[in-house]
Amino acid sequence: MRKTSRKGGDPAMNVTEALLARRTVRAFRADPVSREAVEAILSAALHAPSWANTQPWEVYVAAGATLERLRTASLERTHEGAGGQPDLPMPKAWPEACRERTRGLSGGRAKLTARPADDTTFQRDFLENNRRFFGAPLVVYLCLDRSLTPWSIFDLGLMAQSVMLAAQDQGVDSAIAVNLVVYPDLVRAELSIPEELLVLIGIALGYADLEDPERDFRSNRRTLEEAVRFCDV
């Protein structure tokens, strides 16, 4: 018998369905996510595994006027041409195979706007949309004590995936993006996050704008044959 979710008895997704349904939404409606839904999402996500049960994550949630101030400040910095300085440094280079997949993503998205990926207006609009947090009504920030190692960053990745899958189960869309934390000093000041915590990643939550031209866009995924090597299986 299939279980039901907390939302009015609607059938709940199984894990595979949630994995396949999840996508990075880049345009959200303004409709707020209820406190009840956010608590359900995070309560489930807090069951994510971690090394020796350290549970190293510290979670901050911003919405309403708080998030609007962050959004405005982020856009102002962007328009000033201020480079991002995330607490976790960005890669200096990607392997060519990764770069090729990224080019495919940018090209596919640009095609929907009838512009080439190297068009300056496409790149500007893409950056500004990121820096306004895709219009999401709520952002979950995952933080980590500075004394911890990359092993704990791995744990935060598990937590992030758990947040997005739990959101999917609640009918809430998501977008995980480094551009939500490229100005960590703004986030730290607005949310009173102590200096000993790194602001590592942000996950925008909300409801997808069905009028968005990208609503049906899906990035390609590597096949099982391309990504997996079986040994004596």
Residue 183 sits in a domain whose CATH number is 3.40.109.10
Q: Where are the beta strands (DSSP E) in 11-69?
A: 58-63
Q: Do the domain assignments include residue 198?
A: yes
Domain count, the chain: 1
Residue 190: which domain range? 22-90+132-217
Q: State the sign of the Cα–Cα–Cα–Cα dihedral 5, 59, 186, 120.
A: negative
Q: Do the domain assignments include residue 12?
A: no
Separation CA 208–CA 232 (nearest Å): 43
Separation CA 156–CA 58 (nearest Å): 9
Separation CA 25–CA 215 (nearest Å): 8
Global pTM value:
0.91
Q: Do the domain assignments include residue 157?
A: yes
What is the per-residue pLDDT for 159? Answer: 98
pLDDT along the chain (233 residues), means of 10: 46 85 94 98 98 98 98 97 94 93 88 85 91 97 97 97 96 97 98 98 97 85 95 95
Q: Do the domain assignments include residue 122?
A: no
What is the per-residue pLDDT for 31? Answer: 97
Give bridge partners of residue 203 from the DSSP assignment.
Answer: 140, 176
Q: Do the domain assignments include residue 14?
A: no
